[in-house]
Amino acid sequence: MLIASFLDYLRFEKVSSEQTVSAYEVDLNQFKAFVKSIDEEVSLLQVDADWIRQWQMSLLEKKDAPATVNRKLSSLRSFYKFLRIREKIKVDPMQKIASVKQQKKLPVFLRESEMNRLLDDVNFSEDYFGCRDQLILETFYMTGMRLAELVGLRLKDVDVDQCVVRVIGKRNKQRLIPFGDELKNLFQNYLKMRKNSFEELTTDFLFLNKNGDQISRSDVQLMVKRYLSKVVTLRQKSPHVLRHTFATAMLNGNASLSAVKELLGHASLSATEIYTHVSFEEMKKVYKQAHPRA
């Protein structure tokens, strides 16, 4: 009942996505199962910091990554904050819990030459699906939008004349992302192809599958992986790599950090700052290759 109330709070008051709500549900039910496996009589209202530390240690002993453990702790933190606000508990057990220290990984991205090979040298089929796939790849690279944002695009969200796309981001926040003539031409061609490729359309989602329905996240992930495999040997080949590539390219092109933050839809500059490290690492690599005394 407590977990169900919290999930309703996320859905209806915080307006969180179903994907976010599902992630919280999995984490909280896992913690509840852990508590019950040790003592069936203990409720989530009776849990103190020691219980949470035990769970934290059990996750690490099972070789869960620090980032995964911290995400689960974040779920508990939000849950117990909710219980404290609703006066279900007097003391928040998460106040004494510290996150697991983790090494910050630099985001994976493609270099300009690799993106040029992907967009200029790879052959796309001349049917609807080749046109769609090329546009999706270029949209990721030229706008930096997230996978969920791209899949959720509708026809009304793209203003081809003004060269701007409206994106619905996390927590239902909207932002406008400009694009250039190259993407404009691709959009114009795609919209004609979309209209002529299906006899009757009942959806206004921008990107469609073979049945004329909204394309799925997994379809886009598999498509991106297939095309990236043609030009790079990176272990990670996902839409997020193209988002990282967009951000890195913008900063390398002297865009301000605050501008990139707004384009990516980050809540704070700290989330965007990691790309400055990427740019600096790339600068060091170029320096070592170019300077005779490096």
Rounded CA separation 29/35 (Å)? 10
- Looking at residue 237, what is its pLDDT? 94
132 annotated active-site: no
* Segment 3-21, tens digit of pLDDT: 999 999 999 999 999 999 9
- Looking at residue 253, what is its pLDDT? 84
89 φ, ψ to 5°? -135, 155
Q: Please report, as a single letter, which amino acid is at residue 207.
A: F
275 annotated active-site: yes
Rounded CA separation 110/234 (Å)? 9
Q: Is the pTM of this model over 0.75?
A: no
The boundaries of every CATH 1.10.150.130 domain in the chain are 2-96
Sequence length of the chain is: 294
Q: Which CATH number fits domain 112-290: 1.10.3720.10, 3.30.360.10, 1.10.443.10, 3.40.50.1370?
A: 1.10.443.10
251 φ, ψ to 5°? -70, -40
The boundaries of every CATH 1.10.443.10 domain in the chain are 112-290
List 132, 146, 194, 244, catalytic entry: 146
* Segment 199-212, tens digit of pLDDT: 889 999 999 999 99
List 72, 194, 237, 243, catalytic entry: 243
- Looking at residue 293, what is its pLDDT? 57
* Segment 251-268, tens digit of pLDDT: 888 888 889 999 999 988
- Comparing C-alpha atoms, which of 73, 223, 200 is closest to residue 64? 73
Judge whether residue 219 has pLDDT over 80: yes
3 state SS of 129:
helix
List 170, 184, 217, 225, catalytic entry: 170
* Segment 103-127, tens digit of pLDDT: 667 788 898 899 999 999 999 999 9
Q: Which CATH number fits domain 2-96: 3.30.420.280, 3.30.70.270, 1.10.150.130, 3.40.50.1220?
A: 1.10.150.130
* Segment 143-186, tens digit of pLDDT: 999 999 999 999 999 999 999 999 999 888 999 999 999 999 99
266 annotated active-site: yes
227 annotated active-site: no
Here the tokens at position 256 are: 């301000």
DSSP state, residue 214: B
